[in-house]
Amino acid sequence: MKEIIFSRAPVRICDIGGWTDTWFYPRGAVFNLSIDLYSYVRIVSNNSNKINIISEDLKLNTQIKDFQKINYDGTLDLLKAAVKRMEIQTAVDIFVRADAPPGCGTGTSASIAVTLIAALAKLSNKSLTPNEIAALAHKLEIEELKLESGVQDQYAASIGGINFMEIDYPSVKVSKVQINDEKICKLENQLILVYFGSRSSNLMHKAVIENYEKGDNNTINSFNAIKECAYEMKSAIKSESLEYMGEIMNRNWESQKSLHNSMTNSTINKAEKLAKENGAIGFKLNGAGGGGSATILAKAGYEYRIKKKLIADGFKILPVKLNFKGVQTW
């Protein structure tokens, strides 16, 4: 019987301070929550002298025929980059899938990279700490694939839990935020994750970066306000009431929207209005913006009402359960 290696890692939501974990902003800060929407990897040995990579949910596949010549052609390049950086020369089939839908804005790509690196480390008997896995996952995007990438997603996937991150790009100092079981129950009960559909934020990224580098006052002020929200959320989550958390989410979202006119759209505005008319006390788009998904914080007792209204209007609700394990391999 062939030995099979399994691995999984969570994604993150409610990234307060997001956008400040990037190369162009000095000393950012981010607060986020890891949840049990997993990315999964399964590795099985084969007899083909090739590495086959199969995305089960996206119905994509690619093959590495020559371990010394791995080419990036737009098909599952992030996974090929992990194989290259981990120096894997064993003939295997790599199966990948994710709970989070495409373009969700929850850091799924980073979660997949973390999951695969952890599985490949087990395959090759390499010992990597969660921080080392996260750092390598980030390098796949910026060094191998030459992409824009923040650093929060990889650490959230690798470490799990509730985290406050101080960033001196690309270095990350992670402080674990500890809360009691009652607060965990409150958050899992009152947080709602609504999915809008896939989105690409490349053009928006470029425009925001250009404005920041030009010294645009509105952009700079928005970034500073977003960063301050991350520091405030670190304290707010420990307060007795979740009202303060909702206020910070709203303030972060207002500053985020001011970065670019494509940050929001009619669909997102409709969801926000519907949620707040029915008992939401906080709303914040996950990730860069422009679509994907949003984290909603409901007033206690209004969760079902908000979900029912959103579903009736055609929105998709995804489950929220906090994850404190990070990446796991077996």
- CA angle 189/18/250 to nearest 5° reads 55
Number of domains in the chain: 2
Residue among 152, 163, 111 at smallest CA distance from 328: 111
Assess whether 51 and 194 both reside in one domain.
no
Alpha-carbon span 294 to 150, nearest angstrom: 19
Of the residues 178, 197, 212, the one at which a domain ends: 178
Assess whether 195 and 256 both reside in one domain.
yes
pLDDT in tens, 186-232: 999 999 999 999 876 778 888 999 999 999 999 999 999 999 999 99
Is the Cβ–Cβ distance between 269 and 313 less than 8 Å? no
Q: In 160-197, which residue ranges form alpha helices assigned H by DSSP? A: 181-190
Alpha-carbon span 305 to 18, nearest angstrom: 29
pTM: 0.97
92 has pLDDT over 90? yes
On whether residue 120 sits in a domain, the answer given is yes
Of the residues 127, 157, 178, the one at which a domain ends: 178
| pLDDT at residue 3, rounded to an integer | 85
Helix, strand or coil, per DSSP, at residue 83 = helix
The radius of gyration of the chain from alpha carbons, rounded to an integer in Å, stands at 20
234 has pLDDT over 90? yes
Assess whether 11 and 89 both reside in one domain.
yes
Residue 13, strand partner residues: 33
On whether residue 324 sits in a domain, the answer given is no
> What DSSP character marks residue 322?
B
On whether residue 72 sits in a domain, the answer given is yes
Return the CATH number at 14: 3.30.230.10
276 has pLDDT over 70? yes
292 has pLDDT over 80? yes
Helix, strand or coil, per DSSP, at residue 120 = helix
pLDDT in tens, 118-173: 999 999 999 999 999 999 999 999 999 999 899 999 999 999 999 999 999 999 99
Percent of the chain with pLDDT over 70: 99
Of the residues 178, 197, 231, the one at which a domain ends: 178
On whether residue 329 sits in a domain, the answer given is no
Full domain range(s) for residue 269: 181-318
